[in-house]
Amino acid sequence: MINIMFDHPDFVVIDKPTGVSVHKDDQAVSFVAKLQQQLNEPQLFLVHRLDKITSGLLILAKKTTANGLLSSTFQQRKIEKYYIALTDKRPSKKQGLVKGDMVRSRRGTWKLQRSAENPAISHFFSYGCEKGLRLFLIKPYTGKTHQIRVALKSLGSPIIGDKRYYPTPDETIDRGYLHAFALQFYYQDQLIQLHCMPNTGRLFTLESIQQQLSQLSKPWLLNWPKV
């Protein structure tokens, strides 16, 4: 069963599990079709997407009108998204902006360029935690493919468990440690504010991580710069 975080007559916000593709891929029944069955909804529309490794908050519209309205809100960058990620590598800077054009690289990966013609833009804060771990809180202002994964790799801090950007033979790593943590947006003059703690991943359960996440449950209150 998929955890439902917010149920509105026009849309639903779920906690997408890690390791699940929102596309049909090779699945006999797509993720969206399974969710339709669970909610007894005749049709659901993906308003946005999360990578397969990413867990957390995902919006699906129940109606075509709601899909158009929410999709337009996304395109206008009026839906604030906040992600968390874990790394075991020290970043080149502990907070700030990552900005640059993204270009295709080898084997389905992307890389960040210094140019800024149509840049991916992300702001982040990071926090030192136990056992050499660092927790990132990231607010992307754009929605490019693999944007956060590439941004953190460009800082020298690839995400633990991201097999595409940080391959490692360590068999104790149980997931990709990227999670869609919070959302803030207006829908028909109603303010929607949601946050979702990760519910899988051994490292996410560490006490220092849990304590830091509890302090970040309202990330929209932090001093994010305007872009």
Asked whether the beta carbons of 212 and 86 are under 8 A apart, the reply is no
- Give the catalytic positions in this structure: 51
Cβ-proximal residues to 78 (8 Å cutoff; 6+ apart), any chain:
185, 186
Q: Domain 3-221: give its CATH code.
A: 3.30.2350.10
- 135: tokens are 């927790």
Runs of H (alpha helix) within 31-175: 31-39, 64-75, 147-154
- Kindly report each contact of residues 156-163 with a partner whose C-beta sits within 8 Å and lies 24 or more positions away, as own/partner: 156/89, 156/90, 156/91, 156/92, 157/87, 157/89, 157/90, 157/91, 157/92, 157/126, 158/87, 158/89, 159/53, 159/85, 159/86, 159/87, 160/86, 160/87, 160/88, 160/203, 161/53, 162/53, 163/53
Say how far apart CA 178 and CA 164 lie, in whole Å.
Answer: 13
pLDDT in tens, the chain (227 residues): 899 999 999 999 999 999 999 876 656 568 999 999 999 999 999 999 999 999 999 999 999 999 999 999 999 999 999 999 999 999 999 999 999 999 999 888 999 999 999 999 999 999 999 889 999 999 999 999 999 999 999 999 999 999 999 998 888 899 999 999 999 999 999 999 999 999 999 999 999 999 999 999 999 999 998 87
- 32: tokens are 């969206």
pTM attached to this predicted model: 0.95
